[in-house]
Amino acid sequence: MLTMIRRCLTMGAESQYSDTLKSSKKCSKLRPLKITAVGDGMVGKTCMLITYTTKQFPTEYVPTVFDNYAENIIMDGQEYNMCLWDTAGQEDYERLRPLSYPNTDCFLLCYSVGSRSSFENIASKWHPEIQHHCPKIPVILIGKAR
């Protein structure tokens, strides 16, 4: 995952609010790095983030409404406070989900390699939604296997 995040950072884009975040008294002294996972429900977004943060593979599926995970990382000699944001892919949360997009430094756009519709939704739904709300933020496409 750090390789993907490093790629986002080298794309030269920072979130539109990164200067505000850097000077905020509420933030830690580490540079904030917000990574937001987006895609259809049941494609493996939560599983990917839980496996990365806990080093354990989850054994049961629990639909996500909204969740986030944070940890301090060192990448290329720089310390970051990395926040991983997990979003709900279900249509019931279409109006709520974009509220998690501000301040994102990189999007992880996820689909299931076993679900053609989840891949087709990348072009028809997810990428347009991200481009509408955060047009200059880098996106990494991730095909998840079950």
Amino acid 58: pLDDT? 81
User: Is 79 in a helix, a strand, or coil?
Assistant: strand
Q: Identify the CA nearest to 137 among candidates 22, 45, 11.
A: 11
Q: Which residues contact 124 (CB under 8 A, 6 or more apart)?
A: none
Amino acid 127: pLDDT? 97
User: Is 45 in a helix, a strand, or coil?
Assistant: helix
Per-residue pLDDT tens listing for the chain (146 residues): 767 677 666 664 444 434 433 333 344 578 999 999 999 998 999 889 888 888 888 887 766 655 788 889 999 999 999 999 998 877 666 778 889 999 999 999 999 999 999 999 999 999 999 999 999 999 999 999 86
For the chain, the domains span 2-10+39-144
Amino acid 114: pLDDT? 96
The CATH class that applies to domain 2-10+39-144 reads alpha beta
Q: Identify the CA nearest to 4 among candidates 48, 56, 54, 65.
A: 48
Return d(Cα 91, Cα 71) in angstroms, integer: 29
Separation of CA 106 from chain center: 6
Amino acid 103: pLDDT? 94
Quickly list H helices, the chain: 2-10, 18-23, 45-54, 116-121, 127-133
